Amino acid sequence: MLFLPYQLRWIQDDSRLKLLEKSRQIGMSWATAYALVRRQAATDARLDAWVASRDENQARLFLNDCRKFAKVLDRAARSSGAQVLPQPDRANTQSLLFANGTRLHSLSSNPDAQAGKRGARVLDEFALHPDPRRLYAIAYPGITWGGQLEILSTHRGAQNFFNQLVLEARHGGNPKNFSLHRVTLQDALDQGFLPKLQAKLPADDPRCAMDTAAYFDFIRASCADPETFLQEYMCVPADETTAFLPWELIAACEYAEGEATPFDISAKDPKPGRELFLGVDIGRVHDLTVCWLLERVGGVHFTREILALQNQPFARQEELLWERLALPGLRRACLDSTGLGRQLAERAQERFGSARIEAVNFTAPVKEDLAYGLRQLFEKRALRLPAQKEVRADLRAIKKTATSTGHLRFAADRGPGGHADRFWALALAAHAARNFTGHARYENSARLGVERPPRPLAL
């Protein structure tokens, strides 16, 4: 069978509005591509169709799946004297032309790209868009004259507009009249997903020897933390009540396609006037040592490198840290001087100077100042970071709770990948940038327990 039961239910649903909360990597985008091509290839189809995903590259990959299905259907149609694709079929990375004169287009992830276009809509990985509410508001009027609106996604937090649509459809009387579907990893496994996957894997892949229970445990153990597994694979949106950084803040600051630029840490920096800032959280065995390098350009702080080290000798850590502290464009660095980090921070100050190196002791007030300083960058959308699961997990791991004395406490459970070390390295880098405005500044140093030098030194 080409499609599994959960895929067939989605394909055969011809409702005007369709909504799917799904596990990752269970073939739902693939099934959606087939259904869209089948409808678009019909002789009575009269409107174009438009596909948007979380970025333009993903939309093009979706279009490639559509193109493959169209060729299969075209071969079958020609055997009976009909056709799906025109002759000759001209390849186009942005659209697919059908013999009936309609097109299937891949769209930019910018919601404004939806404006003024009529016809069917597919909004893939909807919750991962920077502004899903606005995307829906602009896309929905496009089906006024016909076509389906299909929204499918994994979750990105309980406050995300995607989850609001799901809750409204399931528990709020469904005023928009969505046809709601839900497929978890367990649902997919129960309906035959694993044998389909194993048929595509190399024979020596260890997953080929697994049964469904072992594969489920394998996926769960591979996730960064339990919250990630529940959200990415079990359709349970992450709880926003205790997490310090909501999912939508993190997603809004992740790099857009093509926005990240290569940065060679070992090359001599050819660009004069660069403003680089480094945050370093120190660990050894259980926790990571993380160096997070930011570059400030026009008020936006771009991530240029995240170096994560585990169980590395301090001599090796020092070697790698010195390499970064010696960068010509480095204006300021903040180093964790708590516990294991104290000696490394002192040696860095001796070598590079206290005007360039700030040693930060992680007391409760200090962590509060660092955390809120970082959150301010997120709220201003003045930060760019890579869309990596380890980064997201660390940023989400920080929980804000109140102690019995009424003070705030910022902490994270220790996991196999550290203790939210990337969060604190980024917070330190952000603090380094906040305390530098063209020359070394120490406005906030007193709060961080840093001794003010006799006079500011130009770098």
Per residue in 205-217, pLDDT tens? 999 999 999 999 9
285 and 430 within one domain: yes
145 and 255 within one domain: no
More confident position, 179 or 344: 179
Per residue in 428-451, pLDDT tens? 999 999 978 654 333 344 344 443
Total domain count, the chain = 2
Span 381-397, mean pLDDT?
Answer: 91
Letter for the amino acid at 309?
L
Span 188-194, mean pLDDT?
Answer: 97
41 and 168 within one domain: yes
Element housing 179 (H / E)? strand 179-183
277 and 189 within one domain: no
In a domain, 387, yes or no: yes
Span 152-165, mean pLDDT?
Answer: 93
In a domain, 368, yes or no: yes
Span 160-182, mean pLDDT?
Answer: 96
Q: What is the DSSP letter of 52?
A: E
CATH of the domain at 340: 3.30.420.240
193 and 133 within one domain: yes
Of 26-30, 42-46, 178-182, 454-458, the one with minimum mean pLDDT is: 454-458
pLDDT at position 269, please?
Answer: 54
Q: Which domain-ending residue is among 141, 165, 199?
A: 199
Of all residues in the chain, what percent carry a pLDDT higher than 70?
A: 85
In a domain, 207, yes or no: no
In a domain, 127, yes or no: yes
308 and 384 within one domain: yes
pLDDT at position 406, please?
Answer: 53
| Beta strands 330-336; 357-360: pairing state | parallel
Residue 294, pLDDT > 60, answer yes
How many helices and strands in the chain, by DSSP H and E? 15, 15
Q: Which two tokens stand for residue 37?
A: 């091509």
Those residues whose C-beta lies under 8 Å from the C-beta of residue 339, and which sit 6 or more positions away, are: 282
pLDDT band at 88 (very low <50, low <70, confident <90, very high): low
| Beta strands 49-52; 120-124: pairing state | parallel
Rg, Å, the chain Cα set: 26
In a domain, 394, yes or no: yes
Residue 456, pLDDT > 50, answer no
In a domain, 229, yes or no: no
CA 31 to centroid of chain Cα atoms: 23
88 upstream amide cis, omega within 30 of 0? yes
Q: Which domain-ending residue is among 172, 199, 226?
A: 199
CA distance linking residue 395 with residue 383, whole number of Å: 13
Residue 34, pLDDT > 60, answer yes
139 and 285 within one domain: no
pLDDT at position 310, please?
Answer: 87
Span 304-317, mean pLDDT?
Answer: 90
186 and 97 within one domain: yes
Would you call 253 helix, strand, or coil by DSSP?
Answer: coil
Per residue in 59-85, pLDDT tens? 888 889 999 999 998 888 887 777 888
pLDDT at position 17, please?
Answer: 98
| Beta strands 17-22; 149-153: pairing state | parallel
pLDDT band at 226 (very low <50, low <70, confident <90, very high): confident
Sheet of strand 120-124, all strands in order from the earlier edge strand to the far edge? 95-97, 103-106, 49-52, 120-124, 149-153, 17-22, 179-183
Per residue in 400-435, pLDDT tens? 765 545 555 676 654 444 468 999 999 999 999 997
143 and 87 within one domain: yes
CATH of the domain at 120: 3.40.50.300
Letter for the amino acid at 283?
G
pLDDT band at 455 (very low <50, low <70, confident <90, very high): very low
| Spatial contact of 150 and 123, defined as CB atoms under 8 Å apart | yes
In a domain, 135, yes or no: yes
Residue 113, pLDDT > 80, answer yes
CB atoms closer than 10 angstroms to residue 419 = 18
| Spatial contact of 401 and 377, defined as CB atoms under 8 Å apart | no
In a domain, 363, yes or no: yes
Span 223-252, mean pLDDT?
Answer: 87
Q: What range does the domain containing 291 cover?
A: 247-434
pLDDT at position 451, please?
Answer: 37
CA distance linking residue 249 with residue 38, whole number of Å: 38
Query: Strands, DSSP E only, in 33-117?
Result: 49-52, 95-97, 103-106
192 and 326 within one domain: no
Average per-residue pLDDT for the chain: 86
Of 186-200, 270-284, 361-375, 422-436, the one with minimum mean pLDDT is: 270-284
Query: Strands, DSSP E only, in 206-339?
Result: 276-281, 289-297, 300-309, 330-336
Span 142-160, mean pLDDT?
Answer: 94
